[in-house]
A and B are shown apart, each in its own frame.
Chain A
Amino acid sequence: MGRLTVRNLLAHKRRVAGLVIAVLLGTAFLSGALILSDTVKSSITGLIRDNGAGTDVVVRNATDVTDRPGTDRAAIPAGTADLVRKVPGVASASPVVVGYGQLVDTDGEMITGNGPRIAGNWIDDPALNPYRLTEGRAPQAADEIVVDRASAKQGGLEPGDRITVLTPEPVPVTVVGIATFGEADAFGGASYTAFDLAGALQHVARDPGLISSVSVRLAPGADQEAAAAAIQQVLPPGVQAVPGSAATQEQVDAVSDGFLAIFRTFLTVFAVIALVVAAFSINHTFSVVTAQRMREGALLRALGASRRQIRSQALGEAALIGVTASVLGLLAGAGLAAGLKAMFAAFGFAFPVEGLQFRTETALIVLPVGIVVTLVSALIPAVKASRVPPVAALRDAAVESAGVPVRRTATGAVLIAAGVVATVLADGFLLLGLGAAATVAGVLVVAPAVVRVLGSALTAPFARFGAGPMLARGNVLRSPRRTVGAATAMVVGIAVVTVFAVFAASLKSGAEGETRDTLVGGLTLGDSSSAGWAGGGHSPELTAKAAEVPGVATAVGLQRGNLLAFGSSRDIMAADTARLGTVLDLGVEDGSVEALGTGSIAVSDTAADDHALKVGSRVPVTYPDGTKAELTVAGVYDRTTLVGDYLIDRQAWAPHSVADLDALTVLALAAGAQADQVKAAVEKVAEAYGNPPVRDRDGYVDASLAMVDQFVTIVYVLLALALLIALGGIANTLSLAAHERRRELGLLRAVGAERGQVRASLRWESAFVAALGALTGLVLGAFLAWSAVGVLAGSGDQQVPVTVPAVQLAVLFAAGTLGGLLAGTRPAARAAKMDILRAVSVE
């Protein structure tokens, strides 16, 4: 039987191609996702290792309040470097200042990038400095800087240019040199501005007496561990010495566990969605192929082959196809990874990546997954095929039953009912998930009966458009089960997209409403999105100046930071809480969020629930500089879109913070002031600070949602791949169907159908199948999203109105249908070319 398996595959190239393509599409995405995340990981960790390569020991603040890599430790005394230098075995010790430095080009515009804006001091010891000068020289005065080549290119900077650096106060400087990070233009997406040490202490450090860390180079052959221990002996309390390799590893781990893990999970989720969609497509393709081969199997049975032999022959073929297609999918994944990389770059998330990282693990994941999915998909059709009595199959080629068993429909109806009840009543995600699964399964089970009734009604109006749609309609309705099989991948794909679309739209409109409610001040200054990068923002000096602009009643700066509470790092917002109420309405539920002073904290109701807090609760915290304090909860608030979950007063924050930087300033207008005039006046003041945007409430809401939109777009693109797989499946089964119906098509041509009409009939059929699938998916997805939003709203106190994005969904439906039409093009063209004589001649 083994030889027969191989012969069979070779004899039916088209069927095999169809199956291989179905499996290939599914595995390629998985492979691509893994390759891309490995590539990004290796390149990012590579950058980090390069950065720390020459540093043998790092001396730094012992307190770490953030799980973000490489930033946010508080400062240490500048004199520490001198102490370290005296330790035996230390060859060189350079004080390192790291802080915020936004470059402003010669036109007064900020040079924006895709990473933190870093400023610091140029380190003369090349072993400790990962940057290399490519042009000009090192800074020798407090107003001279070296910039990274990427920023120089972007801002058109050359040595000799007079520009401004916002640290965050505007500092006039002269560019004297341009440097690369090793061979690369920049350290990933980060910009780098290096002053000399005096300049860095004066402009970048929070206090000229404080530095960020000390980088130490040891005499050749010295042991990092031992040296670190020796250095530790001379250090003041709160300062630690760690071996360079350990410090680097910490950063690598932080990135790997943080961003990279999220990125990998994110991609994997979509890969799994694609694989599920592909599995439906593979399963259907196998069903069709198996039905076509019933006769063959029956002949073998009649000649004495056992059921098991028939079954193992089918599974043997599936295994061969699974292996071949998975290997091809693995390779295709490399291409897909390159494409995804380009897509992320197009959306402004460029990865500092060269080439692609292909690890053995990828193959060890993709190949078994592809093969197992193929085998499982092939199993049911194979078992069905082996059950056909030999005589039945020999008698008639059309073994596939056109009927829809009542029992099947009844089972489906029960499943749907149970699913819907569970979904609607669900108050947690477990019940919701079970309900959703039952609903989806029920819909797929009941679908053939629905196609028979609803599909017939929905396609009827098109039958008048000519012979093409009329014939297509007949073919869609001839075997409702097959139609459903062909459309299932589409149903699942569109349902997933719809769930996401409704979910995203609902969350967005929820966030939009909340932002509007929160923002009672008339204007904002600064860019909320830049705050996403550690340390983005502008100088409090600008906030103070804005407060003096005529027509401005209050200007309150919001500072972002981190501190340790409840055992891990917490994002906090610090503000002048005495006046915060004039610009923001946080929806206070209990107590007060005003005038928190140095001993109080306000928390969101979510945080209050999570940590069992109420007004009067004591919260022990550790500030970035290592200071421990106990804060009292003064108030609990509802609206978190602007301030997050923890709010403290500036007075409490300022002495311990890493940087003095306002992420956003909110302005309240004086009574009678003209918003337009005030806005223009504030913009004028902001000119000297690199023109941070000034926005009214609508403008701020739009800008803050733009980030969300971008993320949503990326998700759409990734989900579109799943839809492509579904469309590929439709095309695939259509071409199999055309092959199967070649005699009918021949008859049609013989009695006078033009090629165009044959083509049209197949394209209409494809569009009908896609449209029916898309419609079902839309309804299903909308229902599931509605339930999910309900559960989400029930679990928190956030008001999340269910928003159905009608336009997006209409576009989705149109895209699905049009995609179906396009998917039918090739099979239709091939079918129209078929030889009439061969088709009508009796075999």
Chain B
Amino acid sequence: MSAPLSAPDETEDATNSITRPGRYAACAVHAVRAYGTGDTEVRALDDVTIGFPRGRFTAVMGPSGSGKSTLLHCLAGLDTPTGGQVFLGDTDLGTLSDKQLTRLRRDRIGFVFQAFNLLPTLTAGENVTLPAALAGTRLDQEWVDRVVVSVGLADRIGHRPSELSGGQQQRVAVARALAARPELILADEPTGNLDSRSGAEVLGLLRDAVDSLGQTVLMVTHDPGAAGYADTVVFLADGRIADRMDAPTPQAVLDRLKAFERPARTASR
């Protein structure tokens, strides 16, 4: 698992140099995800090398088809790169079996998806502790209670998802991601289906998790407003890292994005 790694190409992105993967919560090293072969080959990720530092809130942005979702899926062990390596801490995901990847997601990663985050048959509380139930372990109840209170759902804990609003459902998902104290929280367009107020609440929770709990959050979004909550924004275009911006503001992000505007590509992911 902790095999020594050669240093990635530092010339390509000096500011993002990766000397030892363990320094980062997660990283991709020359990651390639290609679909098809020969003339029809489409590269959703084209030699991406990037590290996500611990205790930081990073947003990944880019136009449709830029590869941002693919990057997230590869980091989560849901998709496998066709070239290069992906690490969580110092674990090379490429060396893991399907079962090990499943356990890694369960024990070391927290997820917040755009929609359909919760099992409709479980209560909000049961959804929060679902990964632990799958692992057959019990979470520290005091901590779970704290998390539930912090996302503002203490009085909704026994309700089923169908009895909750969209914003409340996403907050349950955030609570689930926080409850297991994972190494990395992956959020895929977490506010995509929410109104602006609910969206702001969810983003505030993620921000707070980084600031007060020291969590690492990686969020894919196309909303410059959402990106404004992050410490750093990474821009992807055509499967490559195009730019990065520290201490982003929505306006600056919007301006930067406009520079990418070009005819839409037909292939995605």
Contact = CB atoms under 8 A, between A and B. Distances in A.
A743 B121 contact: no
B73 interface: yes
Interface string B91-114: 000000011001101110001011
Nearest to B69: A841
A309 B176 CA distance: 46
Interface in A426-481: 466-467, 470-471, 474-475, 477-478
Nearest to B108: A752
Contacts of B78: 750, 836-837, 840
Nearest to B133: A467
B102 A752 contact: yes
A471 B119 contact: yes
B134 interface: yes
B106 A837 contact: no
Interface in B35-92: 69, 73, 76, 78-79
Most chain A CB within a 10 A radius of its CB, from B76, B106, B189: B106
Given A474-B122, A751-B111, A467 B134 contact: yes
A553 interface: no
Given A471-B119, A748-B119, A840-B78, A753 B134 contact: yes
A754 B98 CA distance: 9
A207 interface: no
A754 B102 contact: yes
Contacts of B134: 467, 748, 751-754, 757
Interface residues of B, number: 33
A752 B133 CA distance: 10
Given A466-B136, A755-B98, A840-B78, A747 B105 contact: no
A753 B111 CA distance: 13
The A contact surface, by secondary structure, is: helix
Contacts of A752: 102-103, 105-107, 131, 134-135
Interface in B165-209: 176, 189, 192
A837 B73 contact: yes
Nearest to A743: B116
B115 interface: yes
A470 B134 CA distance: 10
Contacts of A517: none
A406 interface: no
Interface in B215-268: none
Interface residues of A, number: 27
B105 A751 contact: yes
Nearest to A396: B162
A840 B186 CA distance: 13
A650 interface: no
B116 A751 contact: no
Contacts of A750: 76, 78, 105, 111, 113
A471 B121 contact: yes
Contacts of B98: 755
A749 interface: yes
B130 interface: yes
A842 B122 contact: no
Given A752-B102, A752-B107, A753-B102, A747 B116 contact: yes
B116 A478 contact: no
A82 interface: no
Interface of A: 398, 402, 466-467, 470-471, 474-475, 477-478, 743-744, 747-755, 757, 836-837, 840-842
Interface of B: 69, 73, 76, 78-79, 98-99, 102-103, 105-107, 111, 113-122, 130-131, 133-136, 162, 176, 189, 192
5 contacts: A467-B133, A467-B136, A747-B113, A752-B106, A842-B114
